[in-house]
Homo-oligomer: A and B are copies of this chain.
């Protein structure tokens, strides 16, 4: 261990040119005579030279990295989005650096500070509880893309989707299939998303002239297990229902298991709708009707928009929408 790496200066010496020239060849900053270029390239491969990114960042003031704040890297939801970001960044010279906020506003703020001290050139914040003010403040230094909120500020672009409308559509779908007793498994109510989805659910019921029965609203925390528990709770309440709209797919998975364990069939006995359209939802038995979130595309768009901002171009964030995907977990009641 501890063999030394070669430096730009060694390459220069090996090739018989000055360090500046090597740097110029590396960055294409200026024209260089072919003979020297070749000598340098030979020296580079001979010494298997790799530029020291820390030194480059320090000298140039640009690290060519993008900080990405997620909440939970292991969740399939964020995974998709990260893939999108990686894809959107590929070929631009920028590399993503991920950090986890674990759904804790303090932690998120700390992680963002860490990313910034790591000299990231831009920031992508995927939802989370960090305050708008903090983001606006940071945006004075580096461009920021934030998803899941509506926020107007200089040097900051936000991607927002209308969760309430989508939730209304999902519920509306069940209503149009003849369901009258529709249960809802809500997400944590300190999440704006969860609130919006709950509001959408209620709005659809009201629009259809159906009563809102609080006993049909169970509280979950977006985890599978909470979906299982929610169904137990709904069943224990002894209010009958023919459909469940879960505020995310993971809770729908849990609900599906709980129903299975009680011998209730989906969709014959209970129709089930989720939210997110995680990759797995296609493979659920039966495939899950859900709201498709364009997570992957959003990742791509976030990356591209941020790069545009870094290049000084006017950002043109594309329009993105949630849409209902009807599969086999819902059926017409008769």
| A residues lining the B interface (CB < 8 Å) | 1-3, 5, 50-55, 57-58, 63, 72-76, 79-80, 82-83, 86, 95, 97-100, 113-114, 116-119, 139-143, 154-155, 224, 228, 253-254, 256-257, 259-261, 279-280, 282-287
- Separation in Å of the A203 CB from the closest CB of chain B? 30
Are A141 and B3 in touch, CB under 8 angstroms? Answer: yes
Given A261-B285, A280-B280, 18 extra CB contacts under 8 A: A1-B154, A1-B155, A52-B119, A53-B119, A54-B54, A54-B58, A54-B63, A54-B119, A72-B83, A73-B79, A74-B79, A74-B83, A75-B79, A76-B76, A95-B114, A224-B282, A224-B283, A285-B285
User: Is B58 in contact with A224, judged by CB distance below 8 angstroms?
Assistant: no
B residues less than 8 Å from A75 (CB atoms):
79
- Of the candidates B1, B79, B224, the one whose C-beta lies within 8 Å of that of A143 is B1
Q: Give the residues in chain B near A143, CB-CB below 8 Å.
A: 1
Listed A/B pairs (15) with beta-carbon separation below 8 Å:
A1-B139, A1-B140, A1-B155, A51-B117, A53-B54, A54-B54, A54-B118, A73-B79, A73-B82, A74-B76, A74-B80, A75-B79, A224-B282, A256-B283, A257-B287
Q: Which residue of B lies closest to A48 (CB)?
A: B113
A116 and B63 contact, CB distance less than 8 A: no
> Is there contact, CB below 8 Å, between B79 and A113?
no
**Which residue of chain B has its CB nearest to the CB of A253?**
B283
Does A73 lie within 8 Å of B86, measured CB to CB?
A: yes
| Alpha-carbon gap, A3 to B254, bound state (A) | 48
Interchain CB contact (< 8 A) of A58 among B58, B79, B286: B58
Q: Which residue of B lies closest to A98 (CB)?
A: B98
Q: Point out the residues of chain B lying under 8 angstroms from A2, CB to CB.
A: 141
Which chain B residues border A86 with CB–CB below 8 Å? 73, 100
